[in-house]
A and B are shown apart, each in its own frame.
Chain A
Amino acid sequence: SAVISQKPSRDICQRGTSLTIQCQVDSQVTMMFWYRQQPGQSLTLIATANQGSEATYESGFVIDKFPISRPNLTFSTLTVSNMSPEDSSIYLCSVRLQTLPGYTFGSGTRLTVV
C-alpha cells in the first residue's frame, strides 16, 4: 500500500519565522490536501494542491500566509509564513489514493510557535 511521509514530525519555531512542511507520497496522486488541526479541534482544510496549477485555498486561508508548492505528482510542500503563536497546530497532508476510499493522511507535523 502507498505510504505518505511527512516531515518534520514536529518543530518549535520563533514567531515571525517560517516553516516549510514536506509531504511525499510513494505513488502518483492528482490532488494533495493540506489540513490544520488546532489543539482539541477537528480538521480544517487549508488548500488543495494540484500539480501544474495554483493551489486552491479555502475561506480564511491565503497564499501569502500558506504558500504551497506542487512540483510533481508525488510531492508537495506547505509553508507557514510569518508565524505567530496562533499558528501552533498540527498540519496534515492527505491524498486520495486510487486503491483506497476516502483520504489517507500523513503522520502530521506538530508545530509550536513561541
Chain B
Amino acid sequence: QKEVEQNSGPLSVPEGAIASLNCTYSDRGSQSFFWYRQYSGKSPELIMFIYSNGDKEDGRFTAQLNKASQYVSLLIRDSQPSDSATYLCASWVIKAAGNKLTFGGGTRVLVKP
C-alpha cells in the first residue's frame, strides 16, 4: 500500500465548476498535510496546508481533513483554465529517523472553457 494515494485523473471540469480532489494516507502518525500545484515543466508550488480536522478555506481553495478516515481533500471553486495542473497531496511525518514529506502520485486537473 502506498503511503499517500491519489486518483491520477485526469479530472475534467468545466470552467466555473467545483473541482474535488481526494487523497488518502496510510500512516496514522502523519501530522500535517499539504497540497501542491505543479504546472507542466515547473516545480511544485504550495497552495494549501492543513493539520486539524475539519475545513480550511483560502480564497477559492478549501482543504478538508478527516484523520479518523485518513482522508484529505481539496476543493477548487469557480475553476479557471489557469487551474489546469497536477495537484500533489503530501503528508508530513515526524519520525525518529527524521522528518519526512511523502507525496502522492498527483491528480491531473483539466479545466475546460
- The residues of A with any CB-CB pair to B shorter than 8 Å are 31, 33, 41-45, 48, 56, 92, 94, 96, 100-108
Contact = CB atoms under 8 A, between A and B. Distances in A.
A31 B92 CA distance: 14
Contact of B101 (A41, A102, A106, A107): A102
Residue with the highest number of chain A CB atoms closer than 10 Å, among B44, B45, B90, B97:
B44
Contact of B98 (A44, A48, A101, A106): A48
A56 B97 CA distance: 8
Interface string B79-105: 000000000101010000111111111
Interface string B45-68: 110010000000000000000000
Interface of B: 32, 34, 36, 42-46, 49, 88, 90, 92, 97-106
Contacts of A103: 34, 46, 101
Classify the secondary structure of A's interface with B.
Answer: strand
B44 A43 contact: yes
Given A101-B49, A102-B34, A102-B49, A42 B106 contact: yes
B98 A42 contact: no
Given A42-B103, A42-B104, A44-B103, 17 more contacts: A31-B99, A42-B105, A42-B106, A43-B44, A43-B88, A92-B43, A96-B99, A100-B46, A101-B34, A101-B46, A102-B34, A102-B36, A102-B92, A103-B101, A104-B46, A105-B44, A108-B43
